[in-house]
Amino acid sequence: MERKPVPLANAERLLRAMKAMADAKDERNQAILAALKAGGSIREIAKVAGMSESQILTISKDMGWPDKAELARRAREKAAQADIDKLIGRYRP
């Protein structure tokens, strides 16, 4: 059976669709990153996006999240919570 080339109009349409898909994927990933930076949880972002938590986690890691600033913020928060727990422990009978 002879292979027929894709007509130019169809090829152009297909290429436009492929570009639109790549652009949409980039926008989706940026929206996921923005939601994470705004404090959204992996679980809730996955629910809104209709994706699995592992997909969201993979995308976030691929985009460099958590970054150094976020890791530092988490460490400060953990240290502050430890200080609070220590103070509360002093006043418990």
Report the chain (93 residues): mean pLDDT per 10 consecutive residues.
Answer: 95 98 98 96 97 97 93 94 90 76
Are 4 and 34 contained in the same domain?
yes
DSSP 28-64: HHHHHHHHHHTT--HHHHHHHHT--HHHHHHHHHHTT
pTM: 0.75
47 and 74 within one domain: no
**50/73 same-domain check:** no
Q: Which residue has the tokens 């898909």?
A: 21
Q: Which residue has the tokens 């240290």?
A: 79
Range of the structural domain that residue 50 is part of: 1-62
Dist CA 40 CA 64 (whole Å): 16
Same domain, 48 and 84: no
* CB neighbours of residue 59 within 10 Å: 19
pLDDT of residue 81: 95
* pLDDT of 47: 98
Same structural domain, 81 and 55? no
Instruction: Report residue 34 as tokens.
Output: 């923005």
Count of structural domains, the chain: 2
Together in a domain, 76 and 46: no
